[in-house]
Structure 1
Amino acid sequence: MTKLDLDPQVVRKARLLAERAAQPVIEMARTHTTVSVERAQLRLAGLTGADSDGLPWVNHLVDAVRDQVGLEHGVALPVFDALLREPYADLGDLARAAALGAVTFRLPAGGDAEAAAEYARCAARQGIGRVDARRAERDAMLRLTGDPRQPWIYLIVATGDIYEDIPQAQAAAREGADVVAVIRSTGQSLLDYVPEGATREGYAGTYATQENFRLMRAALDDVSRELGRYVRLTNYASGLCMPEIAALAGLERLDMMLNDCMYGIIFRDINPRRTFIDQRFSRQIHARAGIVINTGEDNYLTTADAVDAAHTVVVSQLLNERFGKEAGLADGQLGLGHAFEINPAIPESFRLELAHAQLVRELFPDAPLKYMPPTKHMTGNIFAGYLLDAFFNLAGVMTGQSIILIGMMTEGIHTPWLSDRDLALENVRYVRDACGSLAEDFVPRPDGFIVRRARQVLSESVDLLERICDDTLLKAIADGTFGVTRRPADRGKGLDGVVERADGYFNPVIEILESEDPHATAVPASAGRAE
């Protein structure tokens, strides 16, 4: 039900402008590849492991192919041609030999190319089949344990040690958390490789690795069965290895992934071209795996003013919607982000928050919106902070948000203690239970303050989208439109990993993903696990 009486023509115009603004970036992503996209397809083909220094074999193999024949045609043909020509047992055997400089790669032609392509397709099909099997397992777990009602309570663990994260995550689930996010170790987004194995050391978070994913997923499955409700697992598919981490998430049945290149561009200075190319491939994997993405618009308001820049959040959400759907994501997978970050000292601040939150809810009625708590204006006054978090929880319930990340009253003082987390969970549980279906009764007055503010933000969003269409999205990012941070397209980390595709570029994973409906691929939950 519409409560803001938004002009459908204005909404339609906004979406058409977002489509126009996104198209040049989509075309760039469709005509380029990156080292991480190439590594991701080999990971799906079964390549795992690392050398004694921790550098993955997939990095060695892709680097060897790039040095000898380039990546313009993709790694699949040179790699699987080498497997057919030489007596290597598997991809791991080939990668170890390549690391020693013992393999000569070539770009095959004619019948040799056809044979290599068919071999690569079979390996890719097996990898995609494992992703499909994990998706079917999720469906089976949801039938077995039940799905919690929304809004889902989203909670973070971040010890740095996966074996410490596990009991904390299970305890959080028992205390009411519906979604557990394992915060990634600071700086991992800037690593151009994915660490291997279970990790016990990480700064302000735990490394995202396939083994850590597997361990946490198994632990949350155990507690889901115990509680009789499915507990979702979140991690981060962003940074320089976004495609690879997306592939690993699909193989290990994660449920949500933070997946928004704009965060990496703005806050980690990762090259815009690299991240948009990586983002498209990663979202294709997420679409196939049934993973809900979370976008990072909430972060803009930590550097920009939440009132003046409200329209930049909506513009980014509209662009993310277009990028996501082009990559195959359904509405139910678009966990678009926004945040409760208006200065509480501003008169009518809560009404402004309601206007912004309700606008997002109505623009994206079928999206599992993720609402972030106040951080920018949290101070050392823990009582005021606890009250502000309660107002945030109330806004989330009143406007029908889907996912609510719990706020911590000590956000502005220190890394919260477990006791702070317990109080935060008590706060959100009370508000959610006390309000019940309050969203049904919250109807702003026609042409009142909330309605006028929502229409104003939408109008400003349309104006900004028109400027972006004229100047291009990459230039808008370079000019500091989002998050007040300038990021030129020809600078930033990872640009050297971008490669323009040549005629005849071949990637069997993309071939499969683009030729099949990602939402019509269910397989029996008894399908075999990846080794």
Structure 2
Amino acid sequence: MARRPRGKLDLDPVTVRKARALARKAGRPIVDLAQQHTTVSVERATLRMAGLGGADGDGIPWANRLLDTVRADVGLEHGVALPVWDALVRGEAEDLATLAQKAGAGSVRFRLPEGRDATRARSAARKQVGAGLKRIDARRRERERMVRKHGDAPRTPWIYLIVATGDIMEDIPQAQQAAREGADVIAVIRSTGQSLLDYVPEGATREGFAGTYATQENFRLMRAALDESSAELGRYVRLTNYASGLCMPEIATLAGLERLDMMLNDSMYGILFRDINPVRTFVDQRFSRQVHARAGIIINTGEDNYLTTADAVEAAHTVTTSQLLNEYFAKEAGLEDWQLGLGHAFEIDPDLPNSFRMELAHALLARELFPEAPLKWMPPTRHMTGDVFRGNLLDGFFNLVGSLTGQGILLVGMMTEAVVTPWLSDRDIALQNVRYVLNATGDLHEDFNPAPDGFIATRARQVLGETVDLLEAIVDDGLLAAIADGTFGLMKRPADAGRGLDGVARKAEAYFNPASELLEEAQ
């Protein structure tokens, strides 16, 4: 009796289950580590959730000023909430903003309350932070109402286009025009270097390098502009930004408050490509993903970046390994399948024989391993040469793979990638390329079935097997050791080094954070 095929690639379900079990086993110690620590950004995010905004005359947010004073007086290991709300209950200031200003001026001192004082501080903190979470809940319901009112993108994959001039006032008309040309998701990439700032800039920004600063006001302005576009076009236009770097939890909170729809949020990107301390990253990532889960935000992970530093053929299994780890970390934090925009990319050297077939194999493997996830498919960048005609053709092949394998989110490739910041005309040509391929192929993925023992299926099963081997090694040695050894993206990042380590504290026995409690209770 013939064996019944399982999916288009006939993947062995036992092997798939084993891979997921290994990912859980490798990831569990990292979750334990995250639960045992806090960071300055987690504590500042709690203050922001409670409504603290604004900045002093030097542009340093009041959340930073207040946290720094509390930390100097009583340490970080107990959390910021007890000392802050104890001061408010005692009448040191009438509200958080005034308390932060007094803290910045050095006119208030903080203590760790005990007994009834601690009980009153906990109650007040939960009430105020809970009100912030309710605002995030309201923004999620608002999104759902707008999707029902205006309709959603008429097809998948969603067309995802990057806009970022450095000037939010210039970004807005470019984003609106991109939506008119067919973009379903607008991503405003951040100014170079913002991920290394240990504070979130304040207000609307008019200058940035290769991107626009992620601020609450910039979020608000772009969201309002795309709401206008949604009404004009009769479909809800989604907004993306970046919850990564040293302020990941705070930016995630601001995104929830301003109704962003997607956020770049990868478990290891900041470690590997920004040299941010691994412990800091994993602690911040877990909190930020809990916020995303509550806000109904889709995350985009960054496995595509591994293939810009490592060979896309030899390192294909590291992408799949990271996807499985990202899936585990995301679901443990409360995210659902429809929120997992797991990343992968079209980065094999096009001069390599059978490169297109291997790209098909890798993309289809991701699609079949994560059938309910809106995978984020990234265009070629590493092998763009400046030949715009070749680049546009290569992007067309990328779009074709996206159609053949049923990707969920397709980032628009630019023929001028790595040459110049794209002009509006470049974006228009790139969008024409996407529209032609998707319209011409329609639901071609329904008809595409590679031969069971052919090149594509064999390559996919090979990558899955190598993924299991790597996960077994990670379980034996530990994920932190694997990161330190350069397993992912050839970047070696030890757990006791990297930026932001001084902002990490092991929780004391009496640690209290109302945001963490409320988010955990909701899972």
TM-score over 0.5 (shorter chain): yes
Residue 288 of structure 2: aligned partner: 282
CA offsets 1:350-373 (integer angstroms, 9 cap, x no match): 000000000000000000100000
Q: What is residue 147 of structure 1 aligned with on the other side?
A: 152
TM-score, with structure 2 as normaliser = 0.98
Q: Secondary structure at the match of 2:268?
A: helix
Maintained 8 Å contact 1:239/1:261:
no
Q: In structure 1, what residue type is equivalent to 2:364?
A: Q
Partner letter of residue 220 of structure 1?
L
C-alpha contact (below 8 Å) 2:267/2:326 kept by paired residues: no
Q: 1:465-521, CA deviations, whole angstroms, 9 ceiling, x for partnerless residues?
A: 00000110011000000001111111110000000001121111111111124xxxx
1:127 is aligned, of 112, 129, 132, to 132
1:341 & 1:408 partners in 2: Cα distance? 14
Does residue 432 in structure 1 map to residue 438 in structure 2? yes
Distance 1:410 1:46 in 2: 42
Give the aligned residue type for 1:475.
A
Question: Aligned residue for 1:97?
Answer: 102
Match of 1:54 in 2: 59
Tell me the number of residue pairs that the alignment of Structure 1 and Structure 2 aligns: 517
Letter paired with 1:75: V
Displacement, 1:87?
Answer: 4.0
Tell me how large the CA RMSD over aligned residues is.
0.7
Aligned to 2:174: 168
Q: Is the 8 A contact 1:238 1:261 kept in 2?
A: no
- CA shift for structure 1 position 220: 0.1
Q: How does 1:5-84 map to 2 (within 5 A)?
A: 5-84=10-89
CA distances 1:321-379 after superposition (whole Å, capped 9, x unpaired): 00000000000001000000000111111000000000000000000100000000111
Aligned counterpart, 2:309: 303
What CA distance in whole angstroms lies between the structure 2 residues aligned with 1:506 and 1:61? 17
What code does the residue aligned with 1:310 have?
A: A
State the distance in 2 between where 1:227 and 1:380 align.
34
Per the alignment, in what secondary structure is the counterpart of residue 311 of structure 1? helix
Aligned counterpart, 1:391: 397
Which of 326, 331, 334 is matched with 1:325 structurally? 331
Provide the residue aligned with 2:357 in structure 1.
351
Q: Which one of 445, 450, 457 corresponds to residue 451 of structure 1?
A: 457
1:247 aligns with 2:253: yes
Q: Which residue of 1 aligns with 2:520?
A: 514
Matched-pair identity in %: 73
Q: Mind listing any 5+ residue stretches in structure 2 that lack a counterpart?
A: 1-5
CA shift, 1:246, in A, is 0.2
Partner SS state of residue 197, structure 1 = coil
Q: Distance in 1 between matches of 2:234 and 2:164?
A: 25
Tell me what 1:477 maps to: 483
Q: CA-to-partner distance for each residue in 1:405-438, whole Å, 9 max, x for gaps?
A: 0111111422222111100000000000000000
| Counterpart-to-counterpart distance in 2, 1:495 and 1:413 | 35
Distance in 1 between residues matched to 2:133 and 2:392, nearest whole Å: 45
**What residue ranges of structure 1 are gaps of 5+ in the alignment?**
518-531
Aligned mates of 1:376, 1:17 — CA distance in 2: 31
Within 1, Cα distance between the matches of 2:106 and 2:416?
54
* Alignment partner of 1:138 out of 140, 143, 148: 143
Choose the corresponding residue for 2:207, options 201, 209, 219: 201
Letter in 1 for 2:286: R
How far residue 261 of structure 1 moved from its aligned partner, in angstroms, is: 3.7
Cα-to-partner distance string for 1:275-310 (whole Å, 9 max, x where unaligned): 000000000000000000000000000000000000
Distance apart, 1:86 and its partner CA = 2.5
Matched letter for residue 46 of structure 1: G
| Structure 1 runs, 4 residues or longer, greater than 6 Å off | none
SS of the equivalent of 1:499 reads: strand
The question of whether the paired residues in 2 share the 8 Å contact of 1:338 and 1:370 is answered with yes
Determine which of 214, 218, 221 is the counterpart of 2:224: 218
Q: CA deviation at 1:100?
A: 1.2
Structure-2 separation of matches of 1:79 and 1:410:
51
Q: Deviations over 1:244-266 (max 9, x none)?
A: 00000000000000001411111
Q: Secondary structure at the match of 2:161?
A: strand
C-alpha displacement of 1:192 = 0.2
Structure 2 distance, partners of 1:196, 1:380, is 37
The answer to whether the 8 A contact 1:371-1:396 is kept is yes
C-alpha distance in 2, partners of 1:320/1:266? 15
